[in-house]
Amino acid sequence: MRIRRATEKDAYTLAVLTHRFFPYTGLGCPEVLCRLRSKNIEYYAAIEDKATVGFTDLEHQGGGKAKILGLAVLPEYRRRGIGQALLDKALAAARAKGDEKCVILVAEDNLPAQGLYEKNGFSHCGVLDRKLWNKTVLLMSKEL
Ligand SMILES: CC(C)(COP(=O)(O)OP(=O)(O)OC[C@H]1O[C@@H](n2cnc3c(N)ncnc32)[C@H](O)[C@@H]1OP(=O)(O)O)[C@@H](O)C(=O)NCCC(=O)NCCS
């Protein structure tokens, strides 16, 4: 498995994965392409056997803050360290851009993701004032 920076050529695959794991975002291929072209957003793909088995995208929001927008691994590839490797890459990318803090939104019932973030030093720092995806959403953050 290796992690590489995603490019415009990955737009379709990333749009399919986004639709599968984060359908409520409503992001299709044109929007993902736009994000891939944005200078504030970086996508990384986890590649195994030439296939994209996971991805993460990170936004440099200004003011020293980075936000992980999405992080997902195909179910059949989970619990093998791929989520961790993607998170490592996102955090390294944030540090490389001079970000000092990283934030992420996570659904209250998403214990696997919360476990991953807690293991990596993220702490719970609030609850979103409105429901998203029909769920209570927690805010987690980490100083970089
Ligand atoms: C969250 C997700 C990315 C983790 O990916 P993964 O490749 O399975 O994660 P890893 O194998 O690198 O696991 C790293 C750590 O995360 C935590 N973790 C992962 N899966 C877990 C689970 N099912 N239950 C509890 N903790 C879990 C553990 O602390 C684990 O460390 P350990 O294996 O030493 O116990 C994956 O479950 C996923 O894609 N979920 C669906 C999409 C999603 O919800 N994304 C997060 C949006 S905020």
Query: For residue 90, which of 107, 73, 112, 66 has the smallest C-alpha distance?
Result: 66
pLDDT at 108: 96
Task: Answer yes or no: is the C-beta of 5 below 6 A from any ligand 1 atom.
Answer: no
Q: Whose CA is nearest to atom 18 of ligand 1?
A: 112
Give the confidence band of 132 by pLDDT, cuts at 50, 70, 90. Answer: confident
pLDDT at 133: 77
Task: Answer yes or no: is the C-beta of 126 below 6 A from any ligand 1 atom.
Answer: no
CB 94 within 8 A of CB 60: yes
Task: Answer yes or no: is the C-beta of 73 below 6 A from any ligand 1 atom.
Answer: yes
Domains of the chain: 2-143 (3.40.630.30)
How many Cα atoms occupy the beta-carbon half-sphere of 68 within 13 Å?
Answer: 29
pLDDT at 134: 86
**If you measure from the C-alpha of residue 39 to the centroid of ligand 1, how many angstroms do you get, rounded to a whole number?**
28
**If you measure from the C-alpha of residue 97 to the centroid of ligand 1, how many angstroms do you get, rounded to a whole number?**
26
CA 18/CA 32 separation, integer angstroms: 9
CA 69/CA 131 separation, integer angstroms: 17
Model confidence, pTM: 0.97
State which H helix or E strand residue 4 sits in. Answer: strand 2-5
Residue 22, CA distances (Å) to 1, 103, 142 in order: 23, 18, 23
